[in-house]
């Protein structure tokens, strides 16, 4: 059987709708897989929360989702969560996990020179993970890190059918521009310019058209969605994965349909159509996800 014909059960997790920018790539690579999407909307946005409470929250919600949905593979479609919790998740749960990290390597490899700008949440830009990754792949190139958590909320609004506020977008772009100019003016190379933007938050590709058309200079834009989907496909294609998948009964496979869960008590009716177009039905609120976890 070809890997794309397999129907594994994959759990995709994010704080909100950002993970849908990854899910669309997964559905393209593995069209016959069953997907469960879990969004921790009660705690969205993640990017402004402290690491310790966020880690305990992520472990609790993912644990509950695994218990309830019994996936065969988990995709943490959230840079903020992946750069914080991947090690703990792998140590705790006996399942394959795939995380999302900023596409700094492809940005360096696909541009010959110039600065690379990382747009991410405040939490992600501060992570040692990002600095270590840049040390490994950046060479002599300059990395400009810009925290733009406001884009998370704009992406949420967009997918909920509301117009992206031009004023708010302009405000975010001004802040990016100021940060880039400040960093470049401190540069030793007078002719240094920006060659690439890395969208290091899964919400941001949902605003890629708006960002690209508002940014006046030509540069390349990168995100991790396609690479994550290729990685999942390679894991699913491996013989050891097949052995695990066989443990599911044929009946379980047939009865399962792709579903999405939330953690808040909000109706989220404004998202029904978005999920319906992705072939997913609403499952409701993930029960008891927040037991014993401090309030947001």
Residues 6+ apart with CB under 8 A from 167: none
Backbone angles phi, psi at 155, to 5 degrees: -65, -40
Q: What is d(CA 73, CA 235) in angstroms, rounded to the nearest whole number?
A: 9
* Beta carbons of 148 and 79 less than 8 angstroms apart: no
Q: Does 79 bind ligand DGL (CB under 6 A)?
A: yes
Spell out the SS3 assignment of 5-19. HCCCEEEEEECCHHH
Exactly one of 58, 62, 75, 78 binds ligand DGL (CB under 6 A); which one? 78
Cβ at position 103, least distance to ligand DGL in Å:
12
Cβ at position 294, least distance to ligand DGL in Å:
17
Is 78 in the active site? yes
Q: Does 107 bind ligand DGL (CB under 6 A)?
A: no
Catalytic residue among 69, 148, 180, 201: 201
Contact stretch for ligand DGL (CB under 6 A) within 73-81, 213-221, 250-258, 286-294: 73-81
Exactly one of 152, 159, 194, 232 binds ligand DGL (CB under 6 A); which one? 152
Exactly one of 10, 37, 45, 196 binds ligand DGL (CB under 6 A); which one? 45
Residue with tokens 């609120």: 285
Q: For residues 128-147, which are near ligand DGL according to CB under 6 A? A: none
The pair of three-digit structure tokens given for residue 53, joined into one six-digit string: 């409470």
Exactly one of 203, 206, 221, 260 binds ligand DGL (CB under 6 A); which one? 203
Handedness of CA 97, 100, 104, 109 (dihedral sign): positive
Q: What is d(CA 118, CA 196) in angstroms, rounded to the nearest whole number?
A: 9
Cβ at position 69, least distance to ligand DGL in Å:
20
Exactly one of 202, 258, 263, 264 binds ligand DGL (CB under 6 A); which one? 202
Catalytic residue among 78, 148, 180, 262: 78
Residue number, 64 or 127, with CB nearest to ligand DGL: 127
Residue number, 7 or 121, with CB nearest to ligand DGL: 121
Is 201 in the active site? yes
Burial category of 196 from C-beta neighbours within 10 Å (exposed 0-12, middle 13-18, buried 19 and up): buried
Exactly one of 7, 15, 264, 268 binds ligand DGL (CB under 6 A); which one? 15
Residue number, 155 or 194, with CB nearest to ligand DGL: 155
Cβ at position 86, least distance to ligand DGL in Å:
13
Q: Does 14 bind ligand DGL (CB under 6 A)?
A: yes
CA separation (Å) from 189 to 3, 102, 131, 192?
48, 25, 21, 6
Contact stretch for ligand DGL (CB under 6 A) within 8-16, 86-94, 206-214, 221-229: 8-16
Binding interface with ligand DGL (CB under 6 A): 14-16, 18, 44-47, 78-80, 121, 124, 149, 152, 201-203
- Which residues are the active-site residues? 78, 201
């Amino acid at each position: 059987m070809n890997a794309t014909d397999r129907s594994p059960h994959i759990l995709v997790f994010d704080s909100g709708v950002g993970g849908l920018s990854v899910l669309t790539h997964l559905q393209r690579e593995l069209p016959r897989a069953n997907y469960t999407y879990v969004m921790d909307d009660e705690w969205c946005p993640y990017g402004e929360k402290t690491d310790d409470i966020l880690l305990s929250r992520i472990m609790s919600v993912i644990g509950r989702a695994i218990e309830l949905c019994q996936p065969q593979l988990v995709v943490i479609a959230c840079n903020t969560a992946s750069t914080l919790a991947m090690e703990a998740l792998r140590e705790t749960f006996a399942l394959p996990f795939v995380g999302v990290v900023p596409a700094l390597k492809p940005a360096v490899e696909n541009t010959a020179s110039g600065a690379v700008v990382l747009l991410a949440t405040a939490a992600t830009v501060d992570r040692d993970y990002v600095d270590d990754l840049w040390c490994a792949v950046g060479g002599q190139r300059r990395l400009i890190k810009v925290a733009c958590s406001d884009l998370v909320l704009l992406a949420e609004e967009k997918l909920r059918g509301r117009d992206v506020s031009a004023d708010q977008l302009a405000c975010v772009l001004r802040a990016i521009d100021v940060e880039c100019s400040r960093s470049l003016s401190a540069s030793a190379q007078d002719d240094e310019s920006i060659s690439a933007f890395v969208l290091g938050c899964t919400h941001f590709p949902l605003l890629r058209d708006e960002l690209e058309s508002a940014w006046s200079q030509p540069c390349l834009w990168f995100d991790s969605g396609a690479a994550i989907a290729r990685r999942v496909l390679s894991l699913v294609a491996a013989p050891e994965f097949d052995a695990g998948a066989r443990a599911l009964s044929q009946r379980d496979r047939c009865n399962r349909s792709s579903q999405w869960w939330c953690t808040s008590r909000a109706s989220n009716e404004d998202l029904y159509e978005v999920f319906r177009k992705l072939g997913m039905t609403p499952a409701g609120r993930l029960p008891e996800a927040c037991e014993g976890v401090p309030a947001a």
